[in-house]
Amino acid sequence: MQKLNLTQSLQQKLSPQQIQFIKLLQVPTAELESRIEEELELNPTLEEGEEEEREPEQEAEANDAADEDGQEPETTDAHDEIDIKDYLRDDDYSSYKTHSEDGEDEEDREMPIATASSLHETLTTQLGFLGLDDRQLAIGKQLIGSIEGDGYVRRELESIVNDLAFSQGIETTFGEVESILKKIQSFDPAGIAARNLQECLLLQLDRLDDGQDVDVIVAKRIISECYEEFTKKHYPKILKKLDLDDEDYIKDAIELIVRLNPKPGGEITSGMAKNQYVVPDFLLANNNGKIEVALNSRNAPELRVSRSYNEMFQAYDKSNKKDKKLKEAVSFVKQKLDAARWFIDAIKQRQQTLLRTMRAIVEFQYDYFLDGDETKLKPMILKDIAGMIGMDISTVSRVASSKTVQTDFGTFPLKYFFSEGISTDSGEEASSREVKQIIKDFISQEDKSKPYSDDKLEELLNEKGYNIARRTVAKYREQLNIPVARLRKEM
């Protein structure tokens, strides 16, 4: 048996304006311009430029209204008299309030970047210079398509033989595919199309081998005959295997190997990265010991509500308000004007929130921003800044996750300044960033023939008053991309 029940519940939902502000807050400066351009295209009542000054007659009317209620009304008071509910149905109300929820999410939108020749395009061009027949050319293109971004062919050649048979109907053999692979391995950059690191290093050494350079000859022997010992830095075993009795014989050869490129594909793909630039959201300057904070000027665009559309409402007041077409036109303009105001307000609120957050970070980390000394960074979490500016932690997180700041000593993401705390003997809290810098300093000053182990680093940190465990030392060392002691050993 079905029953009808009436229940009351209290739910908290974000308004469309709040959703719009949150999305704008997450947008970094580099993407803000395109977001504004998109809004200008969607909303004809939104224009670029400073707010226009009102005519003397309008100013007088505004002053009279302000005298009556003590408040200055908006410049578009004419349209406020219109009751939009009289002629706007809920089922066809698709204004700016709701289109952002139904449309594409701004976070998923891809931004265009500068183009450059890809690795595969460069290799395909070189393939065309070999004078291959159609069959060999198809095999070569299949091999080039199997090269990964770092320059390696990790797919087994037997599988590539099968791929050619099933996808292109080309019957071939392992030997034929390998012979064409060898030709591709002669392309630039050196080391391309190798099947593993050992082959990659040998390919690069082959380019350097003129038959007379002893270091190159020894380096090739090390990689071909003692590769496993080389990766583990077991130098005595290398000497024994190569029947040498002095480390000087292999020292220069090992230095040569270390300078080789382990990811040859990166030489091409990095060309695209060079065309991308970091646009700082904040600019910090040390003015005689006083840190000044400023927003990037691109965060403060000049936007205004179109005056011509406001004038449409004045015409509406003087016309026959029962005209259906006129009502539809006015309702449309009403929606767009509201959307324009909401967008301008959201941009201004974004600017204020960004500045408040950055000023709080500077106040918290003031000593660090004076000279950029990482040891002066204090432990700081999102909750600390949220409490200082009286906002929610999620708001601070949105600001910190995608914004950067330009200082006198470099450009940094805001999240760089947030770190956990580590207790010291004095009872104070030290930033994990500070501890990482000390670990880095210890390792940079160590004797490379006897590098510090994690246990030794723990001991040194404890001596300086930092209560830290060996596993934490290992975690910080890995975060700094510093290898273990055995792999840092030098001859």
C-alpha count within 13 angstroms, C-beta hemisphere, residue 61: 11
264 shares a domain with 199: yes
Task: Describe the strand order of the beta sheet including 410-413 as a list of residue ranges.
Answer: 290-295, 282-287, 404-407, 410-413
Instruction: For residue 298, give the nearest of 367, 361, 217, 354 by alpha carbon.
Output: 354
Quick check: bond before 189 cis, omega within 30?
A: yes
Could you tell me the two tokens for 147?
């090269």
Assess if residue 441 is contained within a domain: yes
Assess if residue 299 is contained within a domain: yes
* Residue whose structure tokens are 């091409």: 268
201 shares a domain with 286: no
414 shares a domain with 442: no
Last residue of a domain, one of 257, 274, 291: 274
- Boundaries of domain holding 259: 190-274
CB atoms within 10 A of CB 256: 19
373: Cα separation from own chain's centroid = 25
CB atoms within 10 A of CB 395: 19
Assess if residue 58 is contained within a domain: no
Question: What does R_g of the chain's alpha carbons equal in angstroms?
Answer: 33
Last residue of a domain, one of 155, 187, 219: 187
323 shares a domain with 343: yes
Q: How far apart are CA 169 and CA 164, in angstroms?
A: 6
287 shares a domain with 263: no
Tens of pLDDT along the chain (491 residues) come to: 677 777 777 666 666 667 767 777 877 777 888 888 888 888 888 887 765 554 444 444 444 433 444 443 344 333 334 343 332 333 333 333 333 333 444 344 444 444 445 788 888 888 888 888 888 999 999 999 899 888 899 989 999 999 888 888 888 899 999 999 999 999 988 899 999 999 999 999 988 877 777 888 888 888 988 888 888 888 888 888 888 777 777 888 888 888 888 888 875 544 444 444 678 889 999 888 899 999 887 777 788 887 777 677 666 666 665 667 777 777 777 888 888 888 888 888 888 999 999 999 999 999 889 988 877 888 888 889 999 999 888 888 888 887 889 998 888 888 888 877 676 665 556 677 778 888 888 998 888 888 889 888 988 888 888 888 888 888 888 888 888 887 787 76
Domain tally for the chain? 4
Assess if residue 365 is contained within a domain: yes
411: Cα separation from own chain's centroid = 13
389 shares a domain with 369: yes
Assess if residue 111 is contained within a domain: no
Quote the pTM value.
0.50
> What backbone phi and psi angles, to 5 degrees, belong to 241?
-65, -35
Assess if residue 253 is contained within a domain: yes
